[in-house]
Amino acid sequence: MKLNSDAFVIGDIEGFSPKFSTLVCMMNYSRSVLLQAVEGLSAEQLDHFYDEKSNSIGMLLMHIAAVEKFYQIFTFEQKSDFDIDEEFWKSCLELDENCRSKVKGRDAEFYVQTLNQIRQETLGEFRKRDDNWFMNEEPFWSGLPANNWFKWFHVMEDEINHRGQINWLKKRLPKT
């Protein structure tokens, strides 16, 4: 995966207000380096578990997708949980045994397409909002207030954190 010519420039993006432009620039860069990290991995590599307590790279990719999906629901729809028919996403969000058993046998393209589809949904919603939306506050973890700016920062920093785990796991994949 090749970086765009403007990958290292944070600035205005047509169709987005200034704060959204800043966030989207950072999210785009974070996503591009995540996709570089998994480019060319086989389904077997994406399914590999380092040990019985670890997550696979595929699980972490689905978790990243699930976090973004959850924050779409949480901030755009003002709902605090997935609907019952979205149990798969909840499972990926929690990285539980259900996720462990269901996220396997897929190639990198599946994960890239899933991440891209969810990101396009996010960008579509961002385009509908102005910078004032970022300042909306409500109770969050432990009842402490958080605004939408923090929530979407958290989506990005969670992805960066898991990219670090993916890189660590990738270096420890069995040699083929």
CB contact at 8 A, 131 and 18: yes
Could you read off the pLDDT of 21-34 as tens digits, one per residue?
999 999 999 999 99
Confidence of residue 6 (pLDDT cuts 50, 70, 90): confident
Looking at residue 38, its pLDDT comes to 97
Looking at residue 2, its pLDDT comes to 64
* Residue indicated by tokens 């040990």: 51
Domain coordinates in residue numbering, the chain:
18-171
Could you read off the pLDDT of 104-160 as tens digits, one per residue?
999 999 999 999 999 999 999 999 999 999 999 988 888 899 999 999 999 999 999
The 10 Å Cβ neighbour count of residue 161 is: 12
Could you read off the pLDDT of 51-104 as tens digits, one per residue?
999 999 999 999 999 999 999 999 999 887 766 558 889 999 999 999 999 999
Topology of the domain comprising 18-171: Four Helix Bundle (Hemerythrin (Met), subunit A) (1.20.120)
Looking at residue 86, its pLDDT comes to 80
Looking at residue 32, its pLDDT comes to 95
Q: Is the pTM of this model over 0.85?
A: yes
For the cut 90, the answer to whether the pLDDT of residue 171 exceeds it is yes
DSSP state letters, 86-104: GHHHHHHHHT-HHHHHHS-
The mean pLDDT of 1-29, rounded to a whole number, is: 87
Closest CA relative to residue 26, chosen from 173, 167, 159: 159
